[in-house]
Amino acid sequence: MDKYKNIWRKNLIKTLTLGVFLFLLSFTFEPYNQGQLALVLMLFIGVLSLTVLTGASGQISLGQGALMAVGGYSSASLITHLGASIWIGFLVAFFATAIFGLILGTAAARVSGPYLAGTTLVIALALPSVANRFESVLGGDVGLIVDFGTPPTWISNLIEVGYEQWQLWVVLPVALTALFFISNLMATRAGRSWQAVRDDEIGAAVSGIPVARTKVIVFVVSSAIAGLGGALYGLRGLVGPSVYPVSLSLTLLTAAILGGVGSISGAFIGTLIVVFLPDLIDWAISGLAVSEQLSNYLPALLTGFLLLATIIINPAGVMGAGHRKKH
Amino acid sequence: MKIRGSQTKRWVISIVAGAVASTLAIAPSQAIPVRSEVGVSATEIVLGMQLPQTGPASPGYNKIDDAMRAYFDFVNSKGGVNGRKIKLVVKDDTYKAGLTISTASTLINKDKVFAMVGSVGTQTHISIIKDINRRGIPDLFVNSGYSGFYIDPKKYPTSFAALGTYVVESKIEAEYLKANYAKELAAGKVGVLYQTDDFGRNVLAGFKQQGVTFPPANTQKFVAGSQALGLTRQVQALQAAGVTLVVIAAVANATAITIGTAAKLGFAPKWLVTSVGSDATTFKTILASQGTSGAVASALLTGVISASHAPSPGEDTDEFVIAFKKINDDFNVGPDKTWDNNVLQGMNIGYLTTAALQGAGKDLTRKGLIAFMEGKGATLSSAALSPLSYSSKTHEAYNSFWIGAYDANSVLKPIGGTRVLYTTDSAAGPITVSTYKRPAIAADALPKVG
Amino acid sequence: MNTFISTLITGTANGAIFALAALGLVIVWRGAGVVNFAQMGQAMFTTYIASNLIASGNSYWLAFIVALISGSLLGMIIDLLIMRPLAHKKSSSATKTLAGTIPVIASLGILAILQALAGIFWAGEERGFPTPVNSFYFKNGDGTLPFSAFNLFVIGVVLIVLLSLTYFFTQTGAGLGMRAAALNPEVARLSGIKVSRMRTLSWAISGAAGSLAGLLITPSTNLSPNTLDLILIIAFTAAVVGGLDSPLGAVIGGLILGIGIALVTTYGSPENVFLAILFVLLAVQLIRPNGILGGKQVRRG
């Protein structure tokens, strides 16, 4: 027990340090980079959900974006129709997506490898069409307009907070909570037993771990985290089918792979790469006579190459080497 | 007090500067006061735009930005607006709202645009419209006919349309059907194929407003974007229902698929295509690359009814078409500058933007531009044959459409030879005949405002 | 004309093309143990090549053959440059559990690259694509029969492909070698089969099959870098429904999907098509995880 308490304390210190660092850093940023950092943190939560799934079950999902949509829609419909606060929205998104993950996990626990990848891809495609079926509640094709709102007066009286800065201030504690939750989970007994199931199902069953139930629980946790990320992601302006397309799921996967599958710090680095890649490309080709045709497709092209290069050179991703040593 | 002081100062400076500028007309750029408005310098105005340049929703629309830029480059070659060159920064959002939000942030915070202009897409624009408006950034000539953006200026004070709304257009089309196809309507022989999004639903709402509804058996739909799965079943169902006139509310490629499929099925109803899907170039390009001969494609398009607020791009005697076509030839550096509806639309937005910037005056501010649009925007003219309806009560653009049919040369021509413009609103207003006469284009093809 | 009959026929005609795409997936799965999510990207790419040849005045059939050849070449290149090095990589502890999904991720990267390249080369505009035979429905007095010569052509092509694949896999040395290499690489290697070469061969055949599907589906979907994305998803579902390792299963799966989609469109709502696809996919995996005709042992990942 003491060992876990130590891990718990260490993670708390790590998380708080990161939080204070990012909070202070945000003051030196222009609004643009404040917004970008907020986006990084939102997507990071989404990538974390994939890290949980991959790290704990060795499975890849191409449908995390759809789970984010579940979170986004459940929080946005509460906010829009019942006037709930965004914080209530986060809570509900977390639990609603957890329930959804329970249903999905029960079905998907029997599916693995490329089957799961393909199935989750179909989920990512099919789920947004539900919004069209329940137009009055979910807003149909147009979606539900929501946003982060403005800071409460006790903050805005104290200090002037820009729109992007407020975004960041809302996202930061939520992302840190998710990070703290996940890093503890992966380190404690539950996480260990998940990895045992991942590495050797039969062995795990022999040592008394309920394999089927464990797999479902991994799905539930992963879904709940994705839903939380999705609720935040929707608050950028809109919850609608075109906010959570299949390509969002692929972006999350790309970030997870680039950073290193199953690694939490890798998830963060991967998300940074994915978010800032278009800026990097803009910067790199500024001044060069690049045709519009080429510059339009350059981000997609480079992302593809990066993904391939990572898989071929070091499938464990940027953080892969360190990650491997630990085990 | 401080604010008032600086405003007064600004006012004095601008008067002095204006006087100096008018006396020293040789070097106007130096005389223009250095101002602090975002995206405006003494020599440049930075405008932002977003649209799908790549991805499934991009075909056709990805030509609009190139046409706009061509017009701005033309304006710049003539010295710009009040000595300022117009710079258009375009961002590709691939028609995904998640990306639209990011690219909007880039345009606003990084490129520091003065205004957004000509952005394409309803689903994407809806994700940023609240933020743009909250920041007071002018959001001019939005390429969407979704009336929700424009009919309540209190909600979205800075957003102005570039198109007639879907509802206005479909009300006028419904009225045309009632006048000319009453027998078919009464016999339940009129059907509809629509895409299940805001566009398709708004078109249905417009028809309903005029009392035109479609029996369930005559109503077919498809999910926007899924036309790749083919529309054979929908067209067969309309054929089986025995309809003799079909209204199509779909984007251009789906319209081409529908009419092409019907031809294969030996189904030849009268078609009424809403303006969004009515693009002769897209139609003929798709059919030609399918191996359909040009003659057959033209024959399929001949007689198709549609509506427009502008001249047909094929009307080569129209003075605006002639002028815009020349500018397109001379200045468009985009990957595909084939003259069509999209290019005409882009040129027209370029023209309107230039006019609005002229109207907002030398002392260019966001507030000033919006005030001009609300106060005098309705007096602007363009290639369109319809007047503009901007006011403090609505930010809708064109309120009038004429009904035409494609002739054998794939040019939309007024039915019966004379062009009649019908006017209405996006609500329950009546439909009347408009007497608007479009002002002529200046010899140098530049707007003359202010 | 009977609505039900015409729905069935339309569904069958579409289903036949879905079957071809599913066949491509099955061949690579059997031969190399990879679900190739880039397949319809490859098909899109080679169909663009064909489209350009036709646009510059060449005959359809020349373009057709060039597309099939470039499809198999592209398949081989993908295997040689990417999939083979991946398969030969020693799996570390961190990646061992990912072994089944690493090729999936690689194929997604390939898809992104192919779509971007097509956009760069061919401007991302949408075009149509011709059919080799008349696609106008047969005339029947004043009305029409619910199918065209092209529909018959497609069904004929699918049958020929299915029969020749069956013959290839069961009767020829290369086909048997491919199966052996896929089922048990070690034993195959000991008995003198060049396992790597067999895998490359399966990529080539699958590439050609995918290209064929692209050539036959684009007349109805049109051609742009993304139009075939949906077809991949349908083909995957079809392959899983039929059994990922069964060519005949792929054809049956394709037909089930084609007819199912047509039925939902006609009698339900087009808005439910994607949900129906998802439902079928989940139902099959819960009730019959190996698909209708899938073998028990072959499932991996």
How far apart are the two ends of chain B, measured CA to CA in Å?
31
Calpha distance B321→B64 (Å, rounded): 15
Please give the pLDDT value at position A319: 63
- Measured between beta carbons, the chain B residues lying within 8 angstroms of A248 are 96, 98
pLDDT, tens digit, 9 for 90 and up, residues A82-138: 988 999 999 999 999 999 999 988 877 777 788 888 999 999 988 877 887 888 888
| Among candidate residues C14, C17, C15, C23, the one with its CA nearest the CA of residue C207 | C23
Amino acid at A323: H
- State whether residue C196 sits within 8 Å of chain B by CB: no
Query: Which helix or strand (DSSP H or E) is residue B369 part of?
Result: helix B366-376
| Percent above pLDDT 90 for chain C | 51
Write the pLDDT tens digit of every residue in B313-332: 988 899 999 999 999 999 99
A194/chain C closest Cα distance in angstroms: 13
User: Can you tell me the distance from the alpha carbon of B344 to that of B353, in angstroms, rounded to the nearest whole number?
Assistant: 14
What integer pLDDT is reported at residue B90 of this predicted model? 94
SS3 call for A279: helix
Residue with tokens 């046409």: B67
| Predicted confidence band of residue B27 (pLDDT cuts 50, 70, 90) | very low
Q: How far is B176 from chain C (nearest CA, A)?
A: 29
Subunits next to B (3 or more Cβ pairs <8 Å) are A, C
The nearest CA of chain C is from the CA of A213 a distance in Å of 16
The 3-state DSSP class for residue B40 equals: strand
Distance of CA B83 to the CA centre of its chain: 27
Amino acid A281 reads: I
Provide the pLDDT for residue B60: 83
Mean pLDDT over A243-253 rounds to 92
Q: Which residues contact C115 (CB under 8 A, 6 or more apart)?
A: A300, C41, C44, C225, C226
Statement: residue B3 has pLDDT above 50: no
Q: How confident is the model at residue C1 (pLDDT cuts 50, 70, 90)?
A: low
For residue B21, what pLDDT is reported?
Answer: 43
Strand B432-433 vs strand B421-423: parallel, antiparallel, or unpaired? antiparallel
Residue B222, helix vs strand vs coil: strand
pLDDT the model gives residue A10: 86
Mean pLDDT of A51-60: 82
Name which of B97, B130, B146 is nearest A242 (Cβ-Cβ). Answer: B97
Mutate to test the interface with A, among B92, B122, B126 (most CBs of A within 10 A): B126
pLDDT, position C92: 55
**CA gap B400, B433 in Å, rounded:** 9
- What is the spatial distance between Cα B259 and Cα C83, in angstroms, rounded to a whole number? 43
User: In terms of C-beta density within 10 A (0-12 exposed, 13-18 middle, 19 or more buried), how is residue B18 classed?
Assistant: middle
Instruction: List Cα–Cα distances, B347 to A59, B325, B352, C122, in angstroms.
Output: 51, 9, 9, 24
Angle at A105 between CA A100 and CA A111, to 5 degrees: 140
Residue A314 pLDDT exceeds 90? no
Mean pLDDT of chain C: 88
Q: Is residue A127 within 8 Å of C272, Cβ to Cβ?
A: no
Nearest to B117 by CA among B66, B53, B50: B50
- The number of residues in chain C equals 301
Q: Report whether pLDDT(C79) > 70.
A: yes
Determine how β-strand B305-308 pairs with β-strand B270-273: parallel
Closest residue of A to B112, CA-based? A32
What single-letter DSSP state applies at residue B81?
A: B
Tell me, what's the pLDDT at B19? 45
Comparing B70-74, C19-23, C127-131, the range with the smallest average pLDDT is C127-131
Neighbours of A27 (CB within 10 A): 9
Contact A300 C277 (CB under 8 A): no
Band of residue A321 on the pLDDT scale cut at 50, 70, 90? very low
DSSP per-residue codes, B248-289: EES-HHHHHHHHHHHHHTT---EEEE-GGG--HHHHHHHHHH
Question: Cβ C100–A199 below 8 Å, yes or no?
Answer: no
Q: Do A327 and C93 touch (CB under 8 A)?
A: yes
Q: Do B196 and A31 touch (CB under 8 A)?
A: no
Which of A133, A261, A307 shows the shortest C-beta gap to C98? A261
Architecture of domain B167-308: 3-Layer(aba) Sandwich (3.40)
Chain C residues closer than 8 Å to A313 by CB: none
Nearest Cβ partner for C108 among A125, A250, A294: A250
The answer, yes or no, to whether residue B22 has pLDDT greater than 50, is no
**Burial (0-12, 13-18, 19+ Cβ within 10 Å), B437:** exposed
Write down the pLDDT at residue A109.
Answer: 73
Question: A210: pLDDT confidence band, cut at 50, 70 and 90?
Answer: confident
Instruction: List strand residue ranges (DSSP E) for B321-427, in order.
Output: 400-406, 412-414, 421-423
Distance from CA of B23 to the nearest CA of A (A): 38
- Give the tens place of pLDDT for each residue, B118-132: 999 998 999 999 999
Q: Which of A119, A125, A296 is nearest residue C274 as measured by Cβ atoms?
A: A125
The 3-class secondary structure across A129-165, one letter per residue, is: HHHHHCHHHHCCCCCEECCCCCCCHHHHCCCCCCHHH
- CB-nearest to A117 from C86, C104, C272 is C104
If pLDDT is split at 50, 70 and 90, which confidence band does B28 have?
very low
Q: How far apart are CA C181 and CA C191, in angstroms?
A: 10
Q: Which of C37, C105, C282 sits opposite A311 (nearest CB)?
A: C105
Q: Is the pLDDT of residue B88 over 90?
A: yes
User: Average pLDDT for residues A256-267, to the nearest whole number?
Assistant: 86
Chain B nearest-CA distance from C160, in A, is 24
pLDDT of residue A153: 82
pLDDT of residue A122: 92
Mutate to test the interface with B, among A37, A147, A235, A242 (most CBs of B within 10 A): A242
CB contact under 8 A, B131 and A242: no
Listed in sequence order, the DSSP H helices in B78-165 are 97-105, 122-125, 129-134
* Chains contacting chain C through 3 or more C-beta pairs under 8 A: A, B
The chain C residue lying nearest A295, using CA atoms, is C120
pLDDT at residue B304 greater than cutoff 90: yes
Asked if residues B132 and B125 have their Cβ atoms less than 8 Å apart, the reply is no
Q: DSSP alpha helices (H): ranges in chain A?
A: 2-28, 31-57, 64-82, 86-108, 113-126, 128-133, 135-138, 153-156, 163-187, 189-199, 201-206, 211-234, 246-259, 264-285, 292-313, 320-326
- pLDDT score of A1: 53
Q: How confident is the model at residue A326 (pLDDT cuts 50, 70, 90)?
A: very low
Range in A8-12, B62-66, B202-206, C109-113 the model is least confident about: A8-12
Which phi and psi (to 5°) does residue B265 adopt?
-85, 0
Q: Does residue B14 register a pLDDT over 70?
A: no
Q: What is the mean pLDDT of residues A48-75?
A: 90
B96 CA: distance to closest CA in chain A (Å): 5
Per-residue confidence (pLDDT) for residue B227, from 0 to 100: 76
What is the DSSP track for B7-35? HHHHHHHHHHHHHHHHHTTTSHHHHSPP-
Res. A318 pLDDT band, cuts 50 70 90: low
Q: Which of A239-253, C30-44, C112-126, C175-189 has the lowest mean pLDDT?
A: C175-189
Alpha carbon B185 to chain centroid distance?
Answer: 30
- Give the model's confidence band at B168: pLDDT under 50 very low, under 70 low, under 90 confident, else very high: very high
Percentage of residues in chain B having pLDDT higher than 70: 92
Q: Which residue type is seen at B408?
A: A
C202-239 confidence digits (pLDDT tens): 999 999 999 999 999 998 888 888 888 899 999 999 99
- Asked if C56 reaches chain B (Cβ–Cβ under 8 Å), the answer is no
Torsion angles phi and psi, residue B401, rounded to 5: -135, 150
Contact C128 B233 (CB under 8 A): no
Angle CA(C3)–CA(C7)–CA(C8) in degrees, nearest 5?
Answer: 120
Give first-to-last CA distance, chain A, whole Å.
Answer: 21
Share of chain A above pLDDT 90, in %: 39
Give the torsion sign (CA, B132, B136, B141, B144). positive
pLDDT tens sequence across B233-267 = 899 999 999 999 999 999 988 999 899 999 988 89
Residue ranges covered by each domain of chain A: 2-245
Instruction: Give per-residue pLDDT as tens, A145-173.
Output: 999 988 888 887 888 888 889 999 999 99
Specify the CATH architecture of the domain B34-164+315-399.
Answer: 3-Layer(aba) Sandwich (3.40)
pLDDT of residue C96: 60
* CA B201 – CA A72 distance, rounded (Å): 24
pLDDT at B10: 47
Top residue of A51, A106, A112, A115 to mutate, by most chain C CBs within 10 Å, is: A115
Q: Return the pLDDT at B202.
A: 93
pLDDT of amino acid C128: 86
Give me the residues paired with residue B115 across strands. B47
Distance from CA of A188 to the nearest CA of B (A): 35
Q: How confident is the model at residue B167 (pLDDT cuts 50, 70, 90)?
A: very high
Tally C-beta pairs within 8 A across B and C. Answer: 119
